[in-house]
Amino acid sequence: MMMLFNGLVFGSYLVLLSLGLSIIFGMLGVVNFAQGSLYMLGAYAGYTCLLFGLNFWVALLVAPLVVAFIAMLAERFLIRFLYKEADIYVVLLTFGLMLVFEEVIRLIFGDLGRPIGVPDLLSGVVNLGFMYYPKYRLFIIGVTAVCALGTWLFLIRTKLGSIIRAGTDDSEMVDALGIHISRIYTGVFAFGAGLAGLAGILAGPLQEVTPLMGNEILIQIFVVVVIGGLGSIAGSIVAGLLIGEIITLGVLFWPTAAMTSIYVLMAIVLLVRPRGFFGRAGFHE
């Protein structure tokens, strides 16, 4: 049972990361290869806050905002100029940004892992009735659930969410109505990056913060969005939790095949349903 909960924790990181990736792709049509490095930047932003004497709760708020601001600058001054070019140019640019972010962090912090401690309020375990489980891991699951629900409600229930969904289907029509679609693009890119930054600071207390932590999870993020369906919020949530469980249980029962199993699943899904679980026909084609 504990491993099932651990799978939910790891799946929570994947949900936040793939949610951000799916939102960015859904609105901008951008496959953001820098998503993993934004996750890494979130962890280092949180670590830096702690170095300056701020507590974990302040770091939890500041880290996603810092990452969102960096992403906003990248979209405004770099990515924006490639929207009308072939998709490969945006892919290459975001891949280049990933390498730049990684090398900058190496220059500042070095290659050694950096620790982020669990906040005192969330240290220890809680009795769930059928087992004891760490409070901090339950906190991660809860934060992810709130973020996923909040993102869905924002897109479905708010006026700005309606504009974003309309822009996903026909950005030129939205622009013709007098809405500054370029500002919406920047906000969406920053929001998707902020989710990655949030995942990074949440992951910090459970693993060492290193410059390569984004690369290590990047492939798994893309497996999630391919299985769930590019641009799909529901697909990101379902596939993220599913992949988290498969990897975690695979490490327990068959370690050598834990990662291979998710690629096999992806191949099967693509053969049966090429658009993924919740992907739409003609989406960004």
Q: How many CB atoms lie within 10 A of CB 169?
A: 12
The answer on pLDDT for 231 being more than 80 is no
Tokens of 53: 């004497």
Q: Which residue has the higher pLDDT, 238 or 25?
A: 238
CB 278 within 8 A of CB 228: yes
Q: What is the pLDDT of residues 183-204, one digit of tens each?
A: 888 999 999 999 999 999 999 9
- Show the tokens assigned to 169: 């289907």
Beta partners for residue 132, in sequence order: 127
pTM listed for this prediction: 0.92
Task: Among 63-67, 76-80, 126-130, 263-267, name the most confident range.
Answer: 63-67
pLDDT exceeds 80 at position 284: no
Residue ranges of the alpha helices (H) in the chain? 2-28, 35-51, 56-77, 87-109, 135-157, 159-169, 171-176, 181-203, 213-228, 233-253, 258-272
Q: What is the mean pLDDT of the chain?
A: 88
How big is the CA angle at 38 (ends 5 and 75), to the nearest 5 degrees? 135
Structure tokens at 72: 């906003």
DSSP state of 269: H
Average pLDDT over residues 192-217: 92
Residue type at 229 in one-letter notation = G
Does residue 208 register a pLDDT over 50? yes
The answer to whether the beta carbons of residues 141 and 244 sit under 8 Å apart is no
Longest Cα–Cα distance in the chain: 58
Domain ranges of the chain: 9-211
3-state SS of 27-41 is: HHCCCCCCHHHHHHH
What percent helix, strand, coil does the chain show, rounded to 5?
75, 5, 20
**Torsion angles phi and psi, residue 124, rounded to 5:** 90, -170
Residue 184: partners with Cβ closer than 8 Å, 6 or more residues away: 27, 160, 163, 164, 167, 174
pLDDT exceeds 60 at position 281: no
The one-letter amino acid code at 151 reads: T
